[in-house]
Structure 1
Amino acid sequence: MGPRILILARGYLGSHMSAPGIRATAQARVLAEHVPGAQVTLAGPNEDAEQPADGAYRVTRWSARNLLQLAASHDIIISSMLPPHIAVFYPWKRYVVDLFSQYAMEWMEVGMQHYEGRHRDAWAERTRAVLGMQLTLADFILTCNERQRDSYIGMMTSLGLISPRVYEADPTLRRYIDSAPHGIRPELPVPGKRVLRGVRPGFGETDRIILWNGGIIQWYDPATLIEALRLLGRDDIKLLFLGAAYPGIKELGKGVRFQDAKAIAARNGQLNRTIFFEEGWVSHEEAKQYVLEADISACTYFDNMETRYSHRTRFVDLIWGELPFICTHGDVLAEEVAQEGWGLVVPEGDAPALARAIEKLLDDREFHARCKANLAAARPRLQWSATMQPLIRFCREEGEPVSPKWERVPGLAQRLAVYTARRAVFNRYDAALKRRSERREAAEKKERLRQERLARLGAGSAAK
């Protein structure tokens, strides 16, 4: 009998998944197939996720009520954010934290959009506390690329987790923290029914289609792409922003960037003429048809620390679909685009350069074909069974982790306490913000009703 493995997905599972749900589902499949005798349970926050047709693993819902029961009945627990409650099983369970984003930088960006002043400071302190707790609890850590791995090794060193004993056991640290990039769909890209040309209003049979594959959140720069299309002034080029509100992630809804992008397109006269927006979230299955029907893809963002450590998972479907794409300088995948010849890379905020890149990729058929061939060549090394080899290896191994559990106990106790305190402080600010918002809404409603009453009185007087 193999290990009992529990994967706690932090994103929605099922038809409408974003990167966290897609990655957790792929991990369940890979571990069920490649770890001998493994009994895999995939648990998500939503109730409507279906069981896999072949029964390779079990799907269930997890919540605060059943979390401890789920954890108690498994040997290995995997999550992108391990809930602090499961630390009660620390001596007996093996924990994997899947840090496929550099959350310190990503959450800094989230904090800049959603919070101000001391509330933002409390958010940053909570972020540091939760990451410290995650790194200390984990027996094995995954990242999505080598830059992320280096940054987390730095954090682990500052937390005292890379002790002489750990280094002696594994000078490479690969058995403690390793890279596992986001993989691609296992099936081959075979075009199906059309979803745009001749189907969606505004998309003609001969139109050239650019796909923005994913949502529009604070670290993205759709304005530069919209301006590039305005500079080109071509009615035969249509741009579709494929995602809006992320499923199950309230912080990543239709925020400022999304609303600004629509406003710019409307002001330019491009909205629903050459630029289109999906208001919801296209299902994981349907999304591939958009990728296969588009001519190219484009994604522009800011060259900041979030970008430096990111791994743009939205690019993975483009690689799978052999769809040449344009992106901004600064991240790991942008370097691969340039080195591997998957498309073109442009400077941040440079609309003229982006416009030239769009015309090059759309109109130079020979260059476009070379990019497609290069993307096809990358497919074997990006299969989930290949990218998840470090996780497969860990789940197959038996024995003590590289970092002894007893060595981490004092730090874990301290960091659990710090996280609990930081979360309480942040929640107080959150509650105060909610009360202020409710009072403001009540005052606005009261004023609106007063104005409506005055308007009715004025209309009555005029009638007399």
Structure 2
Amino acid sequence: MGPRILILARGYLGSHMSAPGIRATAQARVLAEHVPGAQVTLAGPNEDFEQPADGAYRVTRWSARNLLQLTAAHDVVISSMLPPHIAIFYPWKRYVVDLFSQYAMEWMEVGMQHYEGRHRDAWAERTRAVLGMQLTLADFILTCNERQRDSYIGMMTSLGLISPRVYEADPTLRRYIDSAPHGIRPEPPVPGKRVLRGVRPGFGENDRIILWNGGIIQWYDPATLIEALRLLNRDDVKLLFLGASYPGIRELGKGVRFQDAKAIAARNGQLNRTVFFEEGWVSHDEAKQYVLEADISVCTYFDNMETRYSHRTRFVDLIWGELPFICTHGDVLAEEVAQEGWGLVVPEGDAPALARAIAKLLDDRELYARCRANLAAARPRLQWRETLKPLIRFCMETGEPISPKWERLPGLAQRLTAYTARRAVFNLFDRKLKQRSERLEAAEKKERLRQERLARFAGGGSAK
């Protein structure tokens, strides 16, 4: 009998998945196939999912009501954010936190978009508290790249988690924290039915298609791309922004960047002529058809700390589909694009340079073919069964974790208390913001009704 493994997905499962759900589903598949005797349960926050056809693992819904019951029934619990409630099983369970983003920096960007003043400060304090709690609760930690791993090791050191005992047991710390990059789809990239040319209004048979593969969040820079297309001034080049509202993630979606991008395209006369927006979220299965039909992909963003530590999971489907792409410099995958020859890298905010890169990648057939060949060569090492080897190894181990639980227990108690307090403070600010918004909305509605009454009265007077 192998280990009973529970994967708690923090994003939606099923057809309309974003990166958290895709990653959790891949983990379930790989662990079921590569950990001998493993009984794997994949749990998500939504109900509209299907069981795998081959029955390799079980899919269920998790909520506050059944979380403790699910945890009690399993030996290993894996999540990108471990719920604090399961700490009551800390002495007996093996916990894995999958920190596939540098959340301190990512959530700093989210806070800048959604909160102000002391509310934003409370958000930042809550972020620090939850990360400290996650790192202390976990027996094993995954990241998506080596930069992320280095940053989290620094945080772990400051929390006192890298003790002499831990370092003596493994000076590399790979048995405590390791990198597991986002993998690619297992199926080969075979084109299917068309979804753009001759199907979607505005896309002709001979058009060259640029795909922005994903949503538009605070840290992305669509304005530079739209300006580059204006400078390029080619009616045969069409850009599609694929995705807007993230499924099951309230903080992400149609925010300031998305609205600004649409406004810029409209002002330039590009909207629905050369620049198009997908307003919803395309299903995971259908998204691959957009990748396979596009000529190139472009993703532009800002050179900041979020970028430095990021691992752009939207690039992974481009590698799978052997679709050459252009990106901004600054992150790990941008370095790989330059080193591996997957496409071109441009400076932040440089629209003329981006316009030249787009023209080159679209029109230089020799460069294009070379990029496609390089992408095809990268596909084997990015299969999920390869990238998740550190997680497979941990789940197959039966001994005590490299960081003794008793050594982390005092810090865990302290950090659980700190997180509870910081969350309460943040929620208080959230409630006040909601109440203020409701009052403003009520006042605006009252004023609209007053104006409507005045308009009707004036219209009646004129009629007389």
TM-score (norm 2): 1.00
* Aligned-pair CA distance for 1:18: 0.3
* Aligned-pair CA distance for 1:72: 0.3
* Aligned-pair CA distance for 1:167: 0.2
Does residue 204 of structure 2 align to residue 197 of structure 1?
no
- Alignment map for 1:183-332 (pairs within 5 Å): 183-332=183-332
Q: Distance in 1 between matches of 2:54 and 2:258?
A: 39
Q: Distance in 1 between matches of 2:193 and 2:48?
A: 26
Q: Secondary structure, in 3 states, of the residue corresponding to 2:6? A: strand
Q: Secondary structure, in 3 states, of the residue corresponding to 1:354? A: helix
Q: Distance in 1 between matches of 2:296 and 2:48?
A: 34
* Aligned-pair CA distance for 1:313: 0.1
Q: Secondary structure, in 3 states, of the residue corresponding to 1:136? A: helix
Q: Secondary structure, in 3 states, of the residue corresponding to 1:445? A: helix
Note the alpha carbon deviations across 1:207-240, whole angstroms, 9 max, x for none: 0000000000000000000000000100000000
Q: Secondary structure, in 3 states, of the residue corresponding to 1:31? A: helix
Note the alpha carbon deviations across 1:94-123, whole angstroms, 9 max, x for none: 000000000000000000000000000000
Q: Distance in 1 between matches of 2:248 and 2:49?
A: 13
Note the alpha carbon deviations across 1:325-366, whole angstroms, 9 max, x for none: 000000000000000000000000000000000000000000
Note the alpha carbon deviations across 1:258-287, whole angstroms, 9 max, x for none: 010000000000000000000000000000
* Aligned-pair CA distance for 1:253: 1.8
Q: Secondary structure, in 3 states, of the residue corresponding to 1:251? A: coil
What are structure 2's unaligned runs of at least 5 residues?
none
Q: Distance in 1 between matches of 2:365 and 2:70?
A: 54
Q: Distance in 2 between matches of 1:317 and 1:155?
A: 31
The residue that corresponds to 1:107 in the other structure is 107
Q: Distance in 1 between matches of 2:38 and 2:292?
A: 35
* Aligned-pair CA distance for 1:398: 0.7
Q: Distance in 1 between matches of 2:253 and 2:238?
A: 24
Note the alpha carbon deviations across 1:416-461, whole angstroms, 9 max, x for none: 0000000000000000000000000000000110010011111111
Q: Secondary structure, in 3 states, of the residue corresponding to 1:254? A: coil
Q: Distance in 2 between matches of 1:250 and 1:395?
A: 32
Q: Distance in 1 between matches of 2:69 and 2:177?
A: 28
Does residue 42 of structure 2 align to residue 42 of structure 1?
yes
Q: Secondary structure, in 3 states, of the residue corresponding to 1:345? A: strand
Q: Secondary structure, in 3 states, of the residue corresponding to 2:53? A: coil
The residue that corresponds to 1:146 in the other structure is 146
Q: Distance in 1 between matches of 2:20 and 2:205?
A: 35
The residue that corresponds to 1:362 in the other structure is 362
* Aligned-pair CA distance for 1:147: 0.0
Q: Secondary structure, in 3 states, of the residue corresponding to 2:196? A: coil
The residue that corresponds to 2:179 in the other structure is 179
Q: Secondary structure, in 3 states, of the residue corresponding to 2:141? A: strand
Note the alpha carbon deviations across 1:120-148, whole angstroms, 9 max, x for none: 00000000000000000000000000000
Q: Distance in 2 between matches of 1:112 and 1:379?
A: 36
Q: Secondary structure, in 3 states, of the residue corresponding to 1:135? A: helix
Q: Distance in 2 between matches of 1:272 and 1:303?
A: 29
TM-score (norm 1): 1.00
Q: Distance in 1 between matches of 2:49 and 2:66?
A: 17
Q: Secondary structure, in 3 states, of the residue corresponding to 2:7? A: strand
Q: Distance in 1 between matches of 2:205 and 2:439?
A: 52
Q: Secondary structure, in 3 states, of the residue corresponding to 1:238? A: strand
Note the alpha carbon deviations across 1:45-74, whole angstroms, 9 max, x for none: 000111000000000000000000000000
Note the alpha carbon deviations across 1:357-406, whole angstroms, 9 max, x for none: 00000000000000000000000100000000000000001110000000
Q: Distance in 2 between matches of 1:459 and 1:243?
A: 45
Q: Secondary structure, in 3 states, of the residue corresponding to 2:334? A: helix
Q: Distance in 1 between matches of 2:452 and 2:292?
A: 52
Q: Distance in 2 between matches of 1:276 and 1:253?
A: 16
Percent of aligned positions that are identical: 91
Q: Distance in 1 between matches of 2:171 and 2:165?
A: 10
Q: Secondary structure, in 3 states, of the residue corresponding to 1:276? A: strand
Q: Distance in 1 between matches of 2:396 and 2:390?
A: 10
Q: Distance in 2 between matches of 1:369 and 1:253?
A: 34
Q: Distance in 1 between matches of 2:409 and 2:73?
A: 23
* Aligned-pair CA distance for 1:296: 0.2
Note the alpha carbon deviations across 1:135-184, whole angstroms, 9 max, x for none: 00000000000000000000000000000000001000000000000000
Q: Distance in 1 between matches of 2:112 and 2:199?
A: 40
Note the alpha carbon deviations across 1:195-218, whole angstroms, 9 max, x for none: 000111100000000000000000
Report how many aligned residue pairs link the two structures: 464
Q: Secondary structure, in 3 states, of the residue corresponding to 1:459? A: helix
Note the alpha carbon deviations across 1:285-305, whole angstroms, 9 max, x for none: 000000000000000000000
Q: Distance in 2 between matches of 1:110 and 1:289?
A: 30
Note the alpha carbon deviations across 1:232-251, whole angstroms, 9 max, x for none: 10000000000100000010
Q: Secondary structure, in 3 states, of the residue corresponding to 2:251? A: helix
The residue that corresponds to 2:439 in the other structure is 439
Q: Distance in 2 between matches of 1:256 and 1:250?
A: 14
Q: Distance in 2 between matches of 1:61 and 1:50?
A: 11
The residue that corresponds to 1:404 in the other structure is 404
The residue that corresponds to 1:77 in the other structure is 77
Q: Secondary structure, in 3 states, of the residue corresponding to 1:27? A: helix
